Each structure stands twice: as structure tokens, then as C-alpha cells.
Amino acid sequence: MRAKYLEIPINTVVASGAIELVVGTTASAGIAAGTATSDSSNKLVDSGATFVADGVVVGDIAYNITDGTQAAITAVNANGTEVSFASDLFPAGTETYAIRKEKQLNAVGSTFTTRKVRVGDIVKNTTAGTQTTVAALINETSLTLTADIFNSSTLFNDNFTIEAPATEVYDNGKTFLTTMNIGDVYENTTQNFSEVVVSIIDDFRFKCSSTVGSTGDAFNVFDSTVSSTYLVLMDQIVLVDRVGAEQSRIFLNIMGQTNNYITIDHSDQGSGRAVAIAIQDAMKRGYVGVNMPDPPGPSAARVQMPIFEGSVITVESVALS
């Protein structure tokens, strides 16, 4: 009778890193800011301003930072140094001001396009403790928000961060499009859980079947179809022991051998016995009439442990002890 072997896949890491913010802590800003230089009824006058060049238009919001008031602009003077309102927003003519567009986030020196900010990303006003989502990407320094969480004389220049949705991993500077495939297995090595990759969005991010963890968590991505293998003679297996959530052991009956068990390090199987059950199921299939050739016979003829059936478990290493 031919020997029968259990084939344990040791999964290949195709990507690794840590979950990052899409944009780290940055200060919001108006599209124009300064100090009024003279008083003119129902107008903001700043002799050094360039409102037209800054893109200020009717409907933009001006903030009197000194008084804590605001109003919509009703007219922009062609010389670019005056804007008008329906009421006298700057009565003293010496107040500090800022102008911004409603539901628009601006940040001097930002690289929204380069960092691949996407519609649906989460924008958090970290000063005020509020959040919304990206509605549209305008350019490197500007984007449109779903809700205006910076719309007041005290909020317009608050700090903010941008992060990916809960099911997406973002890591700047990676090449996920060329190194990963749909169906790969994501393992959060900080919190010790795994999910299946359902979409590679761009080089810097991919999407999983469920939540991926927190900013700063380390991760590996395993190719579920590419692996090295460890062959175990099935007749030598006497016991499979669940050592812990991330380790299992196969005890062997090897005559005269002091190293009598195999340690399998794997991703978190929680409180279950996913690895032990996978080994058990593979042995059942092997003994029901599949005669295995001696190594190095074709892989298709061996009984492979179905480590991805039922639970998403990745094998990181196998060692004889």
C-alpha cells in the first residue's frame, strides 16, 4: 500500500506593512485670509488682497474672526481687493477675516491627489471631534465634503485627519496592484485576526470582507494559491492539540525519534478548533481510498489540509520539535 501524506501549506507573504492615515494631522485653511484695511459699508476691503486670483466668488462664506460673525459674499469687485455682503459684516474696517467655500476643505501644502484620497474617505475634525466623508476630490489641496464641519469663524482652521473606511487598508507607497490578488488573505498581526481581500483599489489600498483594524496596526497579506508545503506521513499522526489561538501541534509516533511533534504557527482561530478540524477532515479524505505516492509525487495526489475552508486561517510556519 502506498504511503499517504498530509500536505500542510505554508502561505506566502505577498504584502506587509501597517495601516496608515490617508492624510495625517493637517490644518484646514480658507482660500483667502488677512486683515481689513479700511471701512466701507457692507464691504470687506483689503488693499493687499487678491480675491479674484484666489478664486473667491459670490456665495462663498466670509468670517469676521475678530467678532465671530459670518455672511455669504454677494459681490466681488473686479480689482480683487473688495467683497460685498447684504449687511455690514466688518463695521470697524480693521477686523481679521477668512474666506472659504461651503463644504470645501482646503489645506495649504497638502497632497490629496498624490496620496490618493478617495470619495467616501472619512474626514475627522480632530479639534472639534466631528467627522464627515469626502464627496469629491478637487485637486492636491482642496476637496468637497459631504457635510460642512469647518463652517464657522472658530472651525475653519481646525486640524483634521483623513482615513480610509473601516473595511479598507491604506498604506502609502505600496504596490498592491502588482503584488496582490482578490482572494488573498489579510492578517492583522497586531490584533491577530484574518479577512479575505475582496478588491485591490489602487497601489496604496485594498478592501476586505469585513473591518480591518485600527490605524497603526501591522499586517501581512498571504497569497492563498502560492505556498511552500510540509508533508507529514499520515500513519505517524497520533494527536492534534490546540495549543492556543495561534498555535497547534501534531504529535507523531516516530520510532527512535526524539523530535516527536510538529508545531504549526498560524493566524488567530479564536476559541475554535479550525486547524485541528482541517487536519481531521484531510485525514478522513485520505483514508477513504486515496493512495498517495511517495514524495516527491505530484501535489494534486496529496491530501492537502483545507486551511481556508470555513475559517480564514493562514499558516505562517511549520517546525519539527
Give tens-digit pLDDT for 243-276: 888 889 999 887 767 668 889 888 777 777 888 8
Asked whether the whole model's pTM tops 0.95, one would answer no
- Same-domain status, 138 and 236: no
Examine the fold and report which residue of 163, 179, 197 is the final residue of a domain before the chain moves on.
Answer: 163
Last residue in a domain, options 108, 129, 163:
163
Whole-angstrom distance, CA of residue 277 vs CA of residue 250: 12
Domain stop point among 163, 197, 217:
163
Residue 53 in domain: yes
User: Is residue 204 one of the residues assigned to a domain?
Assistant: no
Same domain, 68 and 152: yes
At 200, which amino acid appears? I
**30 lies in a domain?**
yes
User: Number of structural domains, the chain?
Assistant: 2
Tell me if 226 is assigned to some domain.
Answer: no
Task: Please report the pLDDT score of residue 269 as a whole number.
Answer: 79
28 and 157 together in one domain: yes
Instruction: List the single range of 12-16, 78-82, 128-132 with lowest mean pLDDT.
Output: 12-16
Residue 308 has pLDDT above 80, yes or no: no
**Structural domain span for residue 28:** 23-163
Question: Mean pLDDT of all residues in the chain?
Answer: 88
pLDDT at 84: 98
Q: Among 207, 278, 212, 209, which residue's Cα sits nearest to residue 242?
A: 278
Q: Is residue 191 part of a domain?
A: no
Kindly tell me if the per-residue pLDDT of 299 is higher than 90.
Answer: no
- In the structure, what pLDDT confidence band is assigned to residue 189 with cuts at 50, 70 and 90? confident
Does residue 154 sit in the same domain as residue 238?
A: no
Query: Among 241, 219, 237, 181, which Cα is nearest to 314's?
Result: 219
Q: Clarify whether residues 238 and 133 are in a common domain.
A: no
Closest CA to 160 of 184, 199, 138, 128: 128
Rounded (5°) CA angle 167-170-175: 125
Written as one letter, the residue type at 119 is: V
Distance CA 63, CA 36 (A): 12
For residues 31 and 138, state if they share a domain: yes
Q: How far apart are the first and last CA of the chain?
A: 28
The answer to whether residues 156 and 256 belong to one domain is no
Rounded to whole angstroms, how far apart are CA atoms 26 and 111?
11
Residue whose entry in the numeric block shows the C-alpha cell 475627522: 124
Q: Are strands 5-18 and 303-304 parallel, antiparallel or unpaired?
A: parallel
| Rounded Cα gap, residues 83 and 72, in angstroms | 10
Q: Is residue 95 part of a domain?
A: yes
Same domain, 34 and 159: yes
Nearest to 130 by CA among 167, 158, 106, 91: 158
Same domain, 261 and 153: no
Q: 33 and 128: one domain? A: yes
Q: Taking 60 as the threshold, does the pLDDT of residue 75 lie above it?
A: yes
Q: Comparing 4 with 152, which gets the higher pLDDT?
A: 152
- What pLDDT band is residue 300 in, cutting at 50, 70 and 90? very low
